Amino acid sequence: MNRATVSSSLPSSPSRRSFLGLGLGAGAALALAACGSSKGASGGTGTGSSVLKWGWALPTSWDPVFSSAGWDVHTLSLVYAGLTKLDPHGAAVPALASAWKYNADGTRVTFTLRPGLKFSDGAALDATAVKKSLDRGRTDPKSLVAPQLTSVKAVSAPDPTTVVIDLTHADYQLPNLLAGKTGMVVNPAAFTTNAAGLASKPAGSGPFTLTSYTQNAKAVLRRNPTYWDAAAIKLSGVEVYPLPDASTVVAALQSGQYNVAQIPGSQVEAAKAAGLEVQVIPSMVVATLDVNSSKAPFDNPKVVEALKYAIDREALLKTQAFGHGEVSYQPFPKGYAGYDPNSANLFPYDPDKAKELLAQAGHAGGLDVTLTTAVAQGEPEQIQAQLKKVGINAKIEVIPQAQFTQIIYIQHDRQVAVDQFAGRDSAVQAFQVLFGEEGLMNPGRTTPPELTAAVDKVTRTPLDSPDYPTVLQAATATAVRSTPNVFLYTVPRILARTKSVSALPEFTVVQRFEGVSVG
């Protein structure tokens, strides 16, 4: 494959891609005017009246520019499309754009739009609309995607089907980056007239259109017949509900409240016994301990290293995830280009070594820390017990999920927190979030210079270059050896479904529903 050009006829190739929740606050029922019935909206080859009832999660905002949780990408992908999308392995492939091409030095990329594109309200989706949407994302003072677009110098639309993005430096990650929230194209008619309204009434060109929304309760969507790949959408609609309670999710699936739902590892056997189909889909999510290296005692590298050896990851995986997933010492799972085999067993459980390192750091008699979490029981308590064995006395502090991001990642005033990280659409974006000086999940706000250099090299390496996996893995190796982040185990996406629902596509990064039907 020519590294400069990608088209819809090219095969997919592995190259790749969050979870930070922040509540919207008190909500009210928001009624949205529906444009016709579900039956009439089906249209095309995806006719029918099959509705998927998905027990999953509702977004922090329906506006991708102000969505504050990476996890939102799953629901936002129902109503928005981007120039690209990610294939099952996480590589960028054509979506609204049928092809793209870089110039010789990687400082300009030209996207060619498919002809006749429309937003869900029927308005034309042309290059000018794409330009306005991207410019809003990178220039709005309160944009949460702007940090990912700092390499973009200018966006232009020389003709209706051509979008040209000029870059400040070579950046071959852009096609992957634009496949997620950062690149979702928002109808300019919406944000120029009522930008605040996008929080509850999205205006995109995705496979579905939101018709009604009750905050924290339910979102109802109907099939969008003008979606660029409408022929692949067999469902007439989707209903999205908040994450089901673990103790009742199987019964809710049996009763028909949902016909697809996320379930924890603890419910897999019960779901199977109830006659439900269960798919365990590999994902980019990894359980973590986020360590603030600007706070004592973790400003001492030896204490950080002791922490990494003090954790029995196998025990956590077995108890907390019922064995669903794999022990991990890095942010990327096996099978992803950034997975570094040489870091596969980097910090094995070794309490004696942890004690030795603590003694070297001047804490032979032990030390006290505060372990912050949004979950009162379970994993924090198990980690607390493991740390006690090496002389680290951890006091558990529980804070509300809605305040977690603000306290841990904005105020930066906690020592160590229990969390999860679910990657990003591009590997460089993941590095920025986890390890960058302004990275949201880097509470210490420091980045080793050797890691900065390694990530810069990744940015400047074309995704289809034979050197790309080696360069990316080298950056991963540098990151996990030079930063305080403690990775624990991978967290697959576990979805149970009734037998009336066909098999779900197994996309690593974002759950998609092309080809899915409900009988």
What value does the CA radius of gyration of the chain take, rounded to a whole number of Å?
A: 23
User: Residue 191's domain is classified under what CATH number?
Assistant: 3.40.190.10
Residue 277 lies in a domain: no
Interatomic CA distance for residues 313 and 321, integer angstroms: 11
Q: What range defines the domain where residue 350 resides?
A: 286-490
Interatomic CA distance for residues 429 and 307, integer angstroms: 26
User: Residue 395's domain is classified under what CATH number?
Assistant: 3.10.105.10
Model confidence, pTM: 0.84
Give the per-residue pLDDT at 424: 85
Could you tell me which residues come within 8 angstroms of residue 177 by beta carbon, excluding any fewer than 6 positions away? 148, 149, 183, 424, 425, 426, 428, 429
Give the per-residue pLDDT at 49: 65
Q: How many structural domains are present in the chain?
A: 2
Contact 41, 225 (CB under 8 A): yes
Retrieve residue 46's tokens.
């995806």
List pLDDT tens digits, range 94-124: 999 999 999 999 999 999 999 999 999 999 9
Interatomic CA distance for residues 396 and 191, integer angstroms: 43
Residue 131 lies in a domain: yes
List pLDDT tens digits, range 498-510: 999 999 999 999 9
List pLDDT tens digits, range 308-366: 999 999 999 999 999 999 999 999 999 888 999 999 999 999 999 999 999 999 999 99
- Are 322 and 232 in a shared domain? no
- Are 436 and 300 in a shared domain? yes
Read out DSSP for 294-308? TSTTTTSHHHHHHHH
Residue 252 lies in a domain: no
Interatomic CA distance for residues 255 and 283, integer angstroms: 28
List pLDDT tens digits, range 448-491: 999 999 999 999 999 999 999 999 999 999 999 999 999 999 99
- Are 177 and 91 in a shared domain? yes
Residue 268 lies in a domain: no
- Are 218 and 363 in a shared domain? no
Give the per-residue pLDDT at 377: 80
What average pLDDT does range 159-170 have in this prediction?
98
Give the per-residue pLDDT at 71: 85
Residue 262 lies in a domain: no
**Percent share of the chain, pLDDT over 70:** 91
What 3 state SS string does 115-181 have? CCCECCCCCECCHHHHHHHHHHHHHCCCCCCHHHHCCEEEEEEEECCEEEEEECCCCCCHHHHCCCH
- Are 339 and 420 in a shared domain? yes
- Tell which of 239, 272, 305 closes a domain: 239
Beta bridge partners of 113: 97
Residue 267 lies in a domain: no
Give the per-residue pLDDT at 29: 33
